[in-house]
A and B are shown apart, each in its own frame.
Chain A
Amino acid sequence: MSATTTAPRAGATALPAFRPSMKVPISLGVLALIALVFFGFLGPDKTAEMKISDSGDAVVVPALMIPGQVGGVVLGILLLAMAAYSIYLWTRGERSPKWLPIAFAVVFVFALLVWIVAGARQPSISLAGLVAGSVTLAVPLVFGSLSGVLCERVGVVNIAIEGQLLGGAFTAALVATITGSPYIGLIAAAAAGAAVSMVLAVFSIKYLVNQIIVGVVLNVLVSGLTGFLFGTLMVPNKEQFNTPGRLDILPIPLLSDIPIIGPILFEQSIAGYLMYVAVAVVWFGLFKTRWGLRVRAVGEHPQAADTLGINVNATRFWNVTLGGAIAGIGGAVFTLVTIDSFTKDISGGRGFIALAALIFGRWNPIGAFLASLLFGFAYNLQSILGIIGTPVPSQFMAMLPYLVTIFAVAGLVGKSRPPAASGIPYVKG
């Protein structure tokens, strides 16, 4: 950036060298050192067993046996090498490529896993189960964060993801029980999420109420409404109102037999497949279509978009509604896939993790998807930690997504920049 702005003034003779931010190389370096010292040199001396396939699978892959200390050192050196590469690029005035932090994160998480498992009372873990569980837990997060992406890209801050998830979960359980079909429940969940979103849209666009206020209040409203109806309808008449049944798991023939990735990718309910479709469609729509260009224009510079003849507030309204519908489907996952009934506040703050995921994913559908997977992994690890008995308190694992997000918004891990007009209502004129 400095190169482009100063070049014309400085003349052609002495172009100041372009210096990208040092934040990425430095944070990678620090993390790599932490990994080397704590996971490597101070690491546990037991051997971590990582089972890859179950004994019942068609193709049995032998379990990975990683000695804690040696593994930690090797992985730590690998991380250091990546950090060194990033620093080398920085000295040459180049930015680190996008894959580097992602690859770094994957290796770092793996090193963390080895460290945790090798230090546990029972140093054995099923890798396939771990990843599959993470994906399952990530599904509502992905839907929630996609909703956030759609809303924020068009300039409306969506703090109400939690409410949309909860509304979707409740409606899915209620409608699926009454109609007897989880699929109708799924559609109803989308409608409920859209309804919550419409309130957000009407209040923030028509009445110009601050979007954050509406979001916060909507979360309370939905929590109160569903809690009230749960108490008065569902608790006394569980059979009648709260036995929705589950969405069928639809394995794709052949593909689902692939070891490890088969069960993760191709043995899902319809909601799981919808998740992949939604990520792809939202990404393609936002970045490759005319609609997406308009949406982003409205989110970045509504005045300019208006000048070009785009109806800013209508675009906002429908995008926010669409986002709500997507989050509603995510909510249905709680009551139609994870467990088969509604309980009070079943979303349990997952909407805020989705918000974190969308920020950590830098307002990009694919970034949000990857961040949701990471946070789903942290969530899953947290429960597994308790089972295998590690010295690391599970609460710190649970804290991780939130801490990572704080670092992300503070610009310590790359720079997260929201769409320019996000949170600012547009008044024509």
Chain B
Amino acid sequence: MTEKDQAQSDQTPAESTAEVRAADVSLDTAGGMLEPSIVPVSSQSGDSGHQQGSVMRRIVMGNGFVSVLAVIVALFLGGLLIASTDSQVAKTAGYLFARPTDFLSALWAAMTESYGALFQGSVFSPREGFKPILETMTVATPLICAGLGVALAFRAGLFNIGAQGQIIISATLAAYVGFAWHLPFGLHLLVVLIMGVLGGAVWGAIVGILKARTGAHEVIVTIMLNYVALFLLDFLLNTAAFRRPGDNSPISPRLDESATYPVLIPGSRLHLGFLVAVALTYGVWWLLNRSTIGFEFRAVGANPIAARTAGVRVSRATILVMAMAGALAAFGGVAQVAGTEKVLTGGVAAQIGFDSITVALLGRSTPWGTFFAGLLFGAFRAGAVQMQIQTGTPIDIVLVVQSLIVLFIAAPPLIRSIFRLEPKKKTKTPKAAPKAALANATGGAK
């Protein structure tokens, strides 16, 4: 966005929403990149091509930099939270004014100890070398897949809160095929994959169909379907078909060897699913940026009314994008049962579906952004286990840090004001733009 464009959009605040929207679309498509509508337009990445100013300022004002700052601030606040419950910190706080250095060093020690353990559990530890990073990649696999699903829906202007349900359904189907059918090597994994992905796609498509046909808000429908899926899994695990013979606990038999992803590096849990996730990331990038369907998705996301006028079948795109989002999340579900866990339990989806929303937001709904955000949150998840063992810091701190990161990223003006990066001329946040973007988020079919 050039300064001139910015100024213009500020000068004409009285324009009707539709006009503003149209202006936004033209702004956004100017660089040939249609941006997702969910995250406020001003905070989107990938439009650095038409940003003016010095290189330094572009880096400082750029969205990647804001993301990094958001992560740092969130980690710092999380560290403060850890320190606030630390006994040594509390003790030194008693004589804070007498010897402030004691307090500060205790504070520093509490933070670095926990984060040190986190780092050792996720990237590198002196004892195990780089083995923890393999665990990070394993944990990140379903997060990346499901995050891609959420991101893809975001780009089409749809909130897919339903990754959790889509993962559960796909994991259930995949696991059933995995332990109940006995097929030859190779074919079995393929069938498991197809069944799982099909399940997730159908679960996602239900949302798309309801949205397109009746205007039911996808946020509500996906939230409700998450719970339906959860109880369905709970029910199934209590039936004879899904339980281990002679065992009453709600846990399925182990999947056949032929139904699981092969392990990539012996001695770790890293499985083929990670490479699938990489391929999917590339696939989604290609779909969004190089294919007609992807262009239609982005057009619908940017402005459903304009897209309809331009001849895009909005309802078809809605159904298709939700089915694809469900299918992507389903790859995460398959990775869980066929790769990481190898059994089906009630907690097979853990928090992955909800984490994936934050992953997509941190990745700004771009495929590769989501990939790296998934890796980061995978590292948090993997490291948090080690952190809890070593320092007793509850895993929940990860949730706090994750949500803070997303809050800061979602509100770029906030992080900029913390670091006084706000430009003097208030042209950086065209006020009408988020408004239009948000109007899109609720969709035209309402």
Contacts and interface: CB of A to CB of B under 8 A. Distances in A.
A217 B216 contact: no
Interface string B386-410: 0000000111111111111011001
A409 interface: yes
A399 B431 contact: no
Contacts of A265: none
A359 B407 contact: no
Q: Is the interface of B mostly helix, strand, loop or mixed?
A: helix
Given A406-B221, A411-B215, A232 B403 contact: no
A207 interface: yes
A427 B17 CA distance: 11
Contacts of B435: 208, 424-427
Contact of A213 (B227, B234, B402, B406): B406
A243 interface: no
Interface stretch (B258-266, B287-295, B324-332, B353-361): B353-361
Interface string A217-229: 1101101111111
A224 B400 contact: yes
A213 B361 contact: yes
A210 B38 contact: yes
A189 to B, nearest CB: 20
B227 A349 contact: yes
Interface string B408-443: 001101100000000000000001101101110110
A104 interface: no
B399 A221 contact: yes
A291 interface: no
Interface string B336-367: 00000000000000000010011001000000
Given A232-B394, A359-B220, A402-B224, A393 B40 contact: no
B93 interface: no
B438 to A, nearest CB: 6
Best-surrounded residue of A224, A352, A426, A429 (most CB of chain B within 10 A): A224
A217 B361 CA distance: 10
A402 B407 contact: no
Contact of A352 (B227, B398, B406): B227
A228 B406 contact: no
A227 B223 contact: no
A405 interface: yes
B282 interface: no
A209 B358 CA distance: 14
A218 B410 contact: no
B438 A425 contact: yes
Contact of A403 (B161, B224, B404, B410): B224
B248 interface: no
Interface in A191-222: 203, 207-214, 216-218, 220-221
B210 interface: yes
B406 A224 contact: no
Given A220-B354, A233-B85, A393-B235, A405 B400 contact: no
A349 B220 CA distance: 14
A398 B231 contact: yes
Best-surrounded residue of A217, A349, A356, A396 (most CB of chain B within 10 A): A217
A410 B431 contact: no
A427 B432 contact: yes
Contacts, number: 168
A223 B396 contact: yes
Contact of A423 (B404, B406, B441): B441
Contacts of B238: 393, 395
Nearest to B222: A406
A231 interface: yes
A371 interface: no
B244 interface: no
Nearest to B17: A424
A355 interface: yes
Given A210-B438, A425-B435, A399 B219 contact: no
Nearest to A209: B410
A224 B399 CA distance: 5
Nearest to B431: A427
A132 interface: no
A336 B439 CA distance: 41
A159 interface: yes
Contacts of B215: 411
Contacts of A426: 435
A313 B235 CA distance: 46
A396 B235 contact: yes
B279 interface: no
Contact of B439 (A229, A412, A424): A424
B217 A409 contact: yes
Best-surrounded residue of B40, B393, B396, B437 (most CB of chain A within 10 A): B396
A207 B411 contact: yes
A237 B235 CA distance: 37
A363 to B, nearest CB: 12
A415 to B, nearest CB: 9
A405 B14 CA distance: 38
Contacts of B179: none
B225 to A, nearest CB: 7
Given A220-B399, A231-B394, A429-B14, A208 B224 contact: no
Contact of B235 (A214, A227, A395, A429): A395
A208 B441 contact: no
Given A228-B396, A427-B432, A221 B85 contact: no
Nearest to B394: A231
B232 interface: yes
B216 A221 contact: no
A230 B235 CA distance: 30
Contacts of B361: 213, 217
Contacts of B437: 210
Best-surrounded residue of B159, B357, B403 (most CB of chain A within 10 A): B403
Interface in A321-373: 344, 349, 352, 355-356, 359
B214 interface: yes
B396 A355 contact: no
B13 interface: yes
A409 B216 contact: yes
B280 interface: no
Contacts of A208: 40, 431, 434-435, 438
Contact of A355 (B38, B214, B220): B220
Best-surrounded residue of B213, B227, B402, B439 (most CB of chain A within 10 A): B227
B228 interface: yes
A209 B40 contact: yes
A161 to B, nearest CB: 11
Interface in B78-125: 81, 85
Interface string A225-269: 111111111000000000000000000000000000000000000
Contact of B214 (A159, A229, A411): A411
A232 B85 contact: yes
B351 to A, nearest CB: 8
A27 to B, nearest CB: 14
A418 B159 CA distance: 17
A399 B220 contact: no
Contacts of B397: 224, 228
Nearest to B403: A221
A231 B404 contact: no
Contact of B231 (A159, A212, A399): A399
A230 to B, nearest CB: 8
A388 B394 CA distance: 39
13 contacts: A207-B410, A211-B438, A212-B441, A213-B361, A217-B403, A220-B399, A221-B399, A228-B399, A230-B394, A402-B227, A406-B221, A410-B216, A411-B215
Given A410-B210, A410-B221, A427-B435, 5 more contacts: A212-B159, A214-B410, A216-B357, A352-B223, A429-B431
